[in-house]
Amino acid sequence: MDFQPPDPADLDDVHSLNRAFLDYVTHADRPVAALDQLSEGLAESFLQLTPDGSQRLARSPFLIFSLAEHEHKRWHRLFEGRAHEDLISVLDKPNDAEARLVSAALGFLWQLAKRRPYAARVVSGASLGWCERLAESTLVDLFYHAATESGLLSFRMPDNVGFWRRLLAAGTSEEKPVRRAARLSALQSMLTKSHDDHYRRLPAAACSMPMLAQSVADQTSVSKSKARGYNTPSDESTVNKKPDEDVRER
């Protein structure tokens, strides 16, 4: 499958969601201070951002917040339609501002995953399997999860000090090349962070063997008997072939 990156309209939506998240964590009334999730004084650096710096941070090419995509037990429960099993979590609903933001983010990722699952993975940092399961869900179910599931919204990688120092410093620089380099570095850190994909079954490596055998067979310098590959049926031309007349049978 060819990789199809997010198009400009998709990135505009990412930037809008980031601005909404920044507005939420710095202005909205919250039962728990979202900035407390950041480690080692990063919250203070965050609050010292100028309006221009905040706008540049929002223009990161990925969502700077997370929807708990890597909490596979939670999302397995939601994807399997078992949202009512934990009555305590149902009673502990998110506030209205959080629910609206989560609904908007899930709706955006849902439609993007249906069109371009790899692009959804890039902007969300989630596994490809999570994006595929999200695309299989109904939008009504996702809005229900957003309205009833608390704790989905958080800063992305809040414990990664290097990730956030890069975004809050070089990522908000007035110099475009510096910003671009910082964003690409942060994106690489986000995508290469090791997470098991609990949402899909990867194909076995042996599935590529027939293609490998065919590739070998295409090389004229290799005989057909060597190119067939392991467990490949014998070529009819080599079965019950009589010896040449000029070859003495022993």
pLDDT in tens, 116-152: 999 999 999 999 999 999 999 999 999 999 999 988 9
Region of residue 124 (phi > 0: left; psi between -120 and 50: alpha; otherwise: beta):
alpha
Distance separating alpha carbons of residues 62 and 235, to the nearest angstrom: 53
Residue type, 133: R
**Tokens 């309006």 appear where?**
51
Q: Which of 140-144, 212-216, 219-223 has the lowest mean pLDDT?
A: 212-216
**Higher-confidence position of 56 and 3:** 56
Distance separating alpha carbons of residues 114 and 122, to the nearest angstrom: 14
**Is residue 227's pLDDT more than 50?**
no
SS3 248: coil
* 82, 117 contact by CB (below 8 A): no
What does pTM read for this prediction? 0.74
pLDDT at 91: 59
Percent of the chain's residues with pLDDT above 70: 70
pLDDT at 82: 58
pLDDT at 47: 84
Distance separating alpha carbons of residues 157 and 193, to the nearest angstrom: 10
